[in-house]
Amino acid sequence: MPVSGAKMPITDLSRQLVAGFDWTAPDYEVIIRRRIRMLKALRAEPGAIGGMKSHFRDYPCDFVTLFGSTFDPRLVERGIDPVVPFLLFPRQVEFIDWIIERWKGQEDGVAEKSRDMGVSWLTVAAAVWIFLYHPGSVVGFGSRKEEYVDKLGDPKSLFWKVRTFIDLLPREFRPAGWNSKKHAPYMVITNPENGAKIVGEAGDNIGRGARTSVYFLDEAAYIERPEAVDAALSQTSNCKLHVSTPNGAGNPFYRKAKGGKLPLFVFDWRDDPRKSQAWYDAQVAKADNPTIVAQEIDRNYEASVVNSFIGGDLVKEAMLRGPTQVQAVGGLRVGVDPARFGDDKFAVTIRRGRLIVFQAEAQNLDSFTGAAYVRDCLAPYGEKPEQIAVDEIGIGAGVVDVLTRMAEFAGVVVGVNASLRMDGAASANGVMPIPLVATIYYNLRARMYGEMREWLKGASVPNDDALHAELTSVRYGYRGGSLLLESKDDMRRRGVKSPNKADSIALTFAIPGAQNDMLDHQILTDTALQAGRRPASRSGY
């Protein structure tokens, strides 16, 4: 649920300070002089400082705009001091308001951002506000590497920003008795006045420490073993804010951002008054790799995938192509990807030519109920399929056995070992036919995906975000000069769930239905015949 049109929690104090400020040609000296005059007036009036602190407790954006500072070394080349007033443009105001709303409501949230939007400084500013005005609170920061959380003297680290933000506040607005060397050692910052803390964690240690009031997970899409981190954080904080630029589809950050279950805040580069179309065009022109622009500026999940075997544009075109725009000829070909782990799903795809006519998933199926599920999926079509290809790893072997015993599927059920090498070696049970010419593919999984990718160029598939993510999330590499796709286990290690639906489509290409100019593969079927099962008929895609 994206946040839009949020009420800006600022008052005339902030509006007067930034009145007339030109974001494209910033004059920070004017702002500094206004701040100095305001601070002198506060110091001259008894009780005014206390009154301002009371005001700041309810207006965090006023606190940041009136007395917060930030650091940008890129300003030096323009003749501007790198330490400048932290002036919030409207979308930044909305973001801080969004953070506080999530924290007070004890709910998680996702912030999807373009780079260079000041988001790290915004999370720091919000954390310092909580730290100053809410006694006993604990704010957590986590990132994939320790140096990104805290590295003494490094402006890149979050804790350097926290220390700097506090040190640059007027003395009246710092904690009483504050000494950064004493109260802000490595990875922990303590408010000596009210006992509040800001703590840091990194990598596998995220979520392993003390309970927190709010937790900022920085660059969440890049965290290794993100599901383990999520599990740990679920026990230590009621408000976890996942902040990141995209890093591919299918991972937990993608699912959180696109799932619709968590509040989503989007930071687009067009929200930044310092940027323009000319700025964007310049970024595109100077980028060595267009993926960088797609990932860090356009927030494109699919384009941001490194070594994605199937491109996002190809999948989008197939999803926009209607059933009447493709050739749905030939018999039905069925791909079955049984669940391998507890959170996996049992996926079934039914394909006729260039059209996916049916696709569905189910959970908690064993060999018998899984086979029955396949039969039920096929029942409405009233015809015997040309092929039912089942991933035979795990419970799949049992599904193959049960389906084979069903009279209506006699001779069309094929057990598939996707890891089967494409070098002429027979599979363990001798069921799968082996290509004589398959040097471009390392194993059967790569060959099936290769044929599916070519098929997508003229196919119609369901317009399904989850399917889109699965198809574009599989990465590839080479081994011995042959194409190799990452395994499901490898995907799981980087936090991407098993691509069940995508695999079930690929399985419909387990045994090509015809020799095809597009797919130049010669198939040896003797081993399948010797095993007592005939391969699926070759009557066409």
Residue 116 domain-assigned? Answer: yes
Residue 541: is its pLDDT beyond 50? no
Strands (E), 192-278: 197-202, 214-218, 240-244, 264-267
Residue 418 domain-assigned? Answer: yes
**pLDDT mean over 466-482:** 87
d(CA 86, CA 71): 9
Percent of the chain with pLDDT over 90: 60
CATH number at residue 456: 3.30.420.240
Residue after which a domain boundary falls, among 237, 272, 296: 296
Q: Per mean pLDDT, which range of 180-194, 387-401, 492-506 is the poorest?
A: 492-506
The pLDDT confidence band at residue 38, using thresholds 50, 70 and 90, is very high
Residues 210-222: tens digit of each pLDDT: 799 999 999 999 8
Residue 178 domain-assigned? Answer: yes
Verify that 376 and 237 share a domain, yes or no.
no
- Pick from 111, 62, 290: nearest CA to 215: 111
DSSP state of 355: E
**pLDDT mean over 129-148:** 96
Verify that 335 and 270 share a domain, yes or no.
no
- How large is the angle between the packed helices 158-167 and 119-133, nearest 10 degrees? 50
DSSP SS3 for 430: coil
Verify that 317 and 258 share a domain, yes or no.
no
**pLDDT mean over 282-293:** 78
d(CA 188, CA 190): 7
pTM: 0.67
Verify that 419 and 469 share a domain, yes or no.
yes
Verify that 332 and 241 share a domain, yes or no.
no
Residue 304: is its pLDDT beyond 50? yes
Verify that 287 and 377 share a domain, yes or no.
no
Residue 296: is its pLDDT beyond 90? no
**pLDDT mean over 376-390:** 96
Are 183 and 190 in contact by the 8 Å Cβ rule? The answer is yes
d(CA 231, CA 212): 15
Write out the two tokens for 355. 């059209």
Residue 4 domain-assigned? Answer: no
Verify that 178 and 242 share a domain, yes or no.
yes
Are 267 and 117 in contact by the 8 Å Cβ rule? The answer is yes
C-alpha angle 468-470-471 in degrees, rounded to nearest 5 = 65
**pLDDT mean over 120-142:** 97
CATH number at residue 158: 3.40.50.300
Residue after which a domain boundary falls, among 266, 296, 326: 296
Residue 16 domain-assigned? Answer: no
Strands (E), 340-445: 346-352, 355-362, 387-391, 413-416, 434-435
Residues 58-92: tens digit of each pLDDT: 999 999 999 999 998 888 888 888 999 999 999 99
Verify that 282 and 341 share a domain, yes or no.
no
Verify that 276 and 324 share a domain, yes or no.
no
d(CA 537, CA 521): 16
Q: Average per-residue pLDDT in the chain?
A: 86
Are 471 and 347 in contact by the 8 Å Cβ rule? The answer is no
Verify that 100 and 129 share a domain, yes or no.
yes
Residue 454 domain-assigned? Answer: yes
Strands (E), 68-149: 69-71, 83-85, 109-113, 138-143
DSSP state of 294: H
Residues 427-463: tens digit of each pLDDT: 433 444 444 334 588 899 999 999 999 999 999 999 9
Residue 31 domain-assigned? Answer: no
Verify that 329 and 269 share a domain, yes or no.
no
Give the chain's domain count. 2
Residue 339: is its pLDDT beyond 90? no
Domain extent, residue 416, equals 312-530
Residue after which a domain boundary falls, among 237, 271, 296: 296
Verify that 339 and 283 share a domain, yes or no.
no
Residue 67 domain-assigned? Answer: no
